[in-house]
Amino acid sequence: MSSTGSPASPAFDLADDVRAGRRRAVDVVEASLAAIAEREPELHCFNLVLADSARQRAAEIDRMVAAGEDPGPLAGVPVALKDNLCTRGIETTCSSRILAGWRPPYDATVVTRLDRAGAVVVGKTNMDEFAMGSSTETSATGPTRNPRDPSRVPGGSSGGSAAAVAAGFAPLALGSDTGGSIRQPAALCGVVGMKPTYGTVSRYGLVAFASSLDQIGPFATTVADAAGMFDVIGGHDPADSTSLDRPTPRVVSVLGDGIEGLTVGVVRELLEGADPDVVARITAAADVCAAAGAHVEEISVPEVRLGLSAYYLIAPAEASSNLARYDGVRYGLRVDAPDAASMNVATRTAGFGAEVKRRIMLGTYALSAGYYDAYYGQALRVRTRIVEGFERAYHQCDVLLGPTSPTTAFPLGERLDDPLAMYLSDVCTIPSNLAGHPAISLPFGTGDDGLPVGAQLLAPALGESLLFRAAAVLEAGAPAGTGGAAGGVA
């Protein structure tokens, strides 16, 4: 990975050092825990720091290396997990009071795959409650702060994972992306975040929010690290009935292939609501693509304008069904009451926060008699239109380019009481979820406020190879001094 001309891959270089015995996993993990000890009280990236189990796992990795065994491609690399990924015997709360103290009886498939690759889990990261939010402020454990400017939000819902990587707590993290929950916080924190094609990464053990949209994906400081992480976690899993039973693209090997001769479409509608300084960065990113030999053209996909409205009917509808399982019977909180029905009501009323209640009620309404066809049915027809719009675009272009978020990181508290303003943060990321397509956000310069701007690349289903090739080109051409981690492990 470190050969001349290849994109930087600090996490995998670190693993190579551990595998070759040049560096001890226990030292790597101590460096991670020291970075956490220093800034975690200010930032609150984690719901749970797993110092003891991380030290034990690191010592095990070192013993394997000493015994001549290969612990795997992520040997000794500290990884942070979003707190909606099930970890056997380790508290998994989704940042909700209703799951406080819950210890799942099984591991998510991605957790098993990371373990087999030799990664060391250092903690469970803070998130918007049940991944519903765009700022990590709806968490029952309190907000995470943006490491680039602690008066700002880190984005969300995977804000803890994005901030943990940006703060240098861990070089890699996992999040989940239902409407932009990996890409938007990656953009706001100045790191790389990627949402894979729906079905390429197993959702087994991911606590469900909106099942037709949810997808797990990586956070990293570089494109190559994100690519390597995708290769580790991707692939068919019989435990997830929506997992694609066909070869998943392997992306690390194509990273250096460039984009000469490809067509990059700059999507006019994604730039429409964006701040002028964000638009300027995306224009500069398009110039980098052109300089790399790509044909760059402006393209119109008017259907994406409808994405936000459709999403905020479809996702709550699915959520209202998925969250019916929190009834105080089998796990999580129970508020006692004389009969089962009042116990259900008391438990859910005490256990869910305001944003989760809003979404459950919105979804229940959109699905209810008399409104089903006007809202939910109509949103599903709009989803068809969005898929068709992308099909047309990909007939003309190989990849698409736009901003990840219309703005840079906004101040804490600014949008919390105005749900519609908060939902508008997701306007550029939602269309990919509705279509099931892959997309990536990478840091590309800063806004007028000095905060990171994320460039977003989109590709058709299973177009991860093209996506990462284009991302590597943009990373190499990005203005100096943006992205990466603020000190820490790698």
Partner 1 sequence: MPGRYTITRDDVAHVAELARLELSEAELDMFTEQLGAVLGHAADVAALDLAGVPPTSHALALTNVLRPDEPRPCLDRTEVLVAAPSVEDDRFRVPSIMGEAP
Closest approach of Cβ 404 to partner 1, in Å?
Answer: 20
Q: In terms of CB distance, is 221 or 248 closer to partner 1? A: 248
Q: In terms of CB distance, is 75 or 317 closer to partner 1? A: 317
Q: In terms of CB distance, is 32 or 215 closer to partner 1? A: 215
Residue 345 interacts with partner 1 (CB under 8 A): yes or no: yes
- Residue of the chain from 348, 405, 458, 474 that contacts partner 1 (CB under 8 A): 348
Residue 331 interacts with partner 1 (CB under 8 A): yes or no: yes
Q: Is the peptide bond before 243 cis (omega within 30 degrees of 0)?
A: no
CA distance 303 to 268: 11
**Contact, 204 vs 166, CB < 8 A?**
no
What are the two backbone dihedrals, phi and then psi, of residue 264, each rounded to the nearest 5 degrees?
A: -105, 125
**Contact, 117 vs 172, CB < 8 A?**
no
Largest CA distance in the chain: 71
Residue 91 interacts with partner 1 (CB under 8 A): yes or no: no
**Contact region with partner 1 (CB under 8 A), list: 23-31, 158-166, 179-187, 339-347:** 339-347
Q: In terms of CB distance, is 254 or 461 closer to partner 1? A: 461
Q: Which of 482, 94, 431 is nearest to 285 (CA)?
A: 482
SS3 category, 460: coil
- Residue of the chain from 171, 193, 217, 328 that contacts partner 1 (CB under 8 A): 328
Q: In terms of CB distance, is 63 or 381 closer to partner 1? A: 381
Q: Which of 469, 305, 288, 293 is nearest to 385 (CA)?
A: 305
Q: In terms of CB distance, is 78 or 332 closer to partner 1? A: 332
SS3 category, 456: strand
Q: In terms of CB distance, is 289 or 435 closer to partner 1? A: 435
CA distance 453 to 479: 11
Range 235-274, binding partner 1 (CB under 8 A) = 238, 241-242, 244
Closest approach of Cβ 86 to partner 1, in Å?
Answer: 11
Q: In terms of CB distance, is 73 or 389 closer to partner 1? A: 389
Closest approach of Cβ 312 to partner 1, in Å?
Answer: 6
Measured in whole angstroms, how far is the alpha carbon of residue 192 from the centre of its chain? 9
- Residue of the chain from 4, 330, 480, 481 that contacts partner 1 (CB under 8 A): 330
Measured in whole angstroms, how far is the alpha carbon of residue 479 from the centre of its chain? 23
- Residue of the chain from 12, 198, 230, 410 that contacts partner 1 (CB under 8 A): 198
Residue 308 interacts with partner 1 (CB under 8 A): yes or no: yes
Which residues are part of the catalytic machinery? 82, 157, 181
**Using CB under 8 A as the criterion, what x/- string covers residues 401-440 for binding partner 1?**
------------------xx--x----------xxxx---
Q: Which of 7, 1, 12 is nearest to 171 (CA)?
A: 12
Residue 349 interacts with partner 1 (CB under 8 A): yes or no: yes
- Residue of the chain from 333, 428, 453, 467 that contacts partner 1 (CB under 8 A): 333
Closest approach of Cβ 409 to partner 1, in Å?
Answer: 23
**Which residues make beta-bridge pairs with 161?**
none
Closest approach of Cβ 374 to partner 1, in Å?
Answer: 5
Residue 385 interacts with partner 1 (CB under 8 A): yes or no: yes
CA distance 101 to 142: 16
Residue 280 interacts with partner 1 (CB under 8 A): yes or no: no
- Residue of the chain from 6, 42, 329, 449 that contacts partner 1 (CB under 8 A): 329
Q: Which of 95, 181, 132 is nearest to 355 (CA)?
A: 132
Total length of the chain: 490
Which pairing describes strands 120-125 and 78-82: parallel, antiparallel, or unpaired? parallel
- Residue of the chain from 46, 375, 410, 444 that contacts partner 1 (CB under 8 A): 375
Q: DSSP for 391-454, please give it.
A: HHHHHH-SEEEEESSSSSPPBTTSSTT-HHHHHGGGTTTHHHHHHT--EEEEEEEE-TTS-EEE
Residue 100 interacts with partner 1 (CB under 8 A): yes or no: no
Q: Which of 312, 278, 307 is nearest to 420 (CA)?
A: 312
Closest approach of Cβ 131 to partner 1, in Å?
Answer: 18
Residue with tokens 């100045």: 190
Q: Which of 21, 73, 28, 100 is nearest to 352 (CA)?
A: 100
- How many residues of this chain bind partner 1 (CB under 8 A)? 70
- Residue of the chain from 337, 416, 476, 486 that contacts partner 1 (CB under 8 A): 337
CA distance 438 to 193: 11
Q: In terms of CB distance, is 107 or 475 closer to partner 1? A: 107
Tokens for 217, please give them: 């994906």
Neighbours of 391 (CB within 10 A): 11
Contacts with partner 1 by CB under 8 A lie at 89, 102-106, 198-199, 212, 238, 241-242, 244, 306, 308-310, 312-313, 320, 327-334, 336-346, 348-349, 352, 357-358, 360-362, 364-365, 368, 374-375, 377-385, 387, 419-420, 423, 434-437, 461
